[in-house]
Amino acid sequence: MDLYLGKTALVTGATRGVGRIIAEHFLDEGAAVVGFARGEPTLTAAAYHHVQVDLADPMAIQKAFLGLHKQVASLDIVVNNAAVLTSQYAMIMPPAAAQAMVNVNLLAPFIVSREAAKFMRKSKWGRIINIGSMAVSLEPMGDSVYAATKAGLSTLANVMAKEFGPMNVTCNTLGITAIESDMLAQLPRDKIEAIIASLPAPRFATPADILNVVDFFAAEASSYVTAQTVYLGGVN
């Protein structure tokens, strides 16, 4: 369908899970895609450019963007998807694990969005989409830091929406539920299934569910949709 012909999209955490689903979708729909991830690329396409970067390191992200200015003329869509999750009760959560979640889940999206906005400023067009989580609403025990970083992601987008609005850049957040992924595999299955069973739409998310909202946020017609968080599955 070539929804994104002529557009360049950046997806963080593009090598697996939701990030890979989104990156593949953008490629299928005609976009050039830049993938930021810690590991080696898992996508092979002429229009795919992989950048190995440790998203926990702010300087590494800035250095990656310095290189990107030489590779691409514009950056139109950014999906802040990469995240790390350590579930542990607050009193025994290792500080290093908490810091890692803050760095990857919140600080990295801030820096990526900021640097991407500098590109988008030139073209006066942009879509920044943060991948949030139902954990913000459900607030499960063991996920104090994870849920806090994902909640912060929404607020980050909402404030950036005000700052970047004059540049025709929208900033929105998609709160996903559970989708089969490496991240989900870290959690007790029975716990996840109980949460899913309690949702108004009691099923796991599918790639189509996620891409539906990503496409909505990224659409040209959505220029008046900004500072919004949409949750899947009936979470509110």
Partner 1 sequence: MNRRDEILAIVLSALESLNEELDEAARVEIGPTTPLFGADATLDSLSLVSVIVDVETALTMKWDAPISLTDDRAMSREVSPFDDVGTLTDYILELLQETSPA
Determine the size of the site formed for partner 1 (CB under 8 A). 8
| CB 116, min distance to partner 1, A | 12
Closest distance between partner 1 and the C-beta of residue 6, in Å?
22
Q: Which stretch binds partner 1 (CB under 8 A): 25-33, 59-67, 95-103, 182-190?
A: 59-67
Q: Which is nearer to partner 1, 116 or 213 (CB)?
A: 116
Q: How far apart are the C-alpha atoms of 27 and 60, rounded to whole Å?
A: 25
Nearer of residues 69 and 203 to partner 1, judged by Cβ: 69
Q: Which of 4, 48, 89, 146 is catalytic?
A: 146
- 4 catalytic residue (yes or no): no
Residue whose CB is less far from partner 1, 118 or 203: 118
Which of residues 2, 5, 6, 63 is near partner 1 by CB under 8 A? 63
Q: Where are the alpha helices (DSSP H) in 56-168?
A: 58-71, 95-102, 108-123, 135-138, 144-164
Q: Does 159 bind partner 1 (CB under 8 A)?
A: no
Under rule CB under 8 A, residue 194 binds partner 1: no
203 belongs to the binding site for partner 1 (CB under 8 A): no
Closest C-alpha to 98, from 49, 56, 70: 56
Q: Phi and psi (nearest 5°) for 80? A: -85, 95
- Per-residue binding string, partner 1, 102-131, x by CB under 8 A, is ----------------x--x----------
* CB 51 to partner 1: min, Å: 15
Question: Of residues 42, 52, 62, 123, which one binds partner 1 by CB under 8 A?
Answer: 62
Which one of residues 166, 182, 220, 221 is an interface residue with partner 1 (CB under 8 A)? Answer: 166
Alpha helices in the chain (DSSP H): 17-28, 58-71, 95-102, 108-123, 135-138, 144-164, 182-185, 189-197, 207-218
Comparing C-alpha atoms, which of 31, 44, 32, 30 is closest to residue 1?
A: 30
The set of long-range contacts for 193-196, using a CB threshold of 8 Å and a minimum separation of 24, is 195/134, 195/138, 195/140, 196/233
| Token pair in block for residue 219 | 């659409």
Question: How far is it, in rounded angstroms, from Cα 190 to Cα 182?
Answer: 16
Contact residues for partner 1, defined by CB under 8 A: 62-63, 66, 69, 118, 121, 163, 166
Which residues does the annotation mark as catalytic? 146
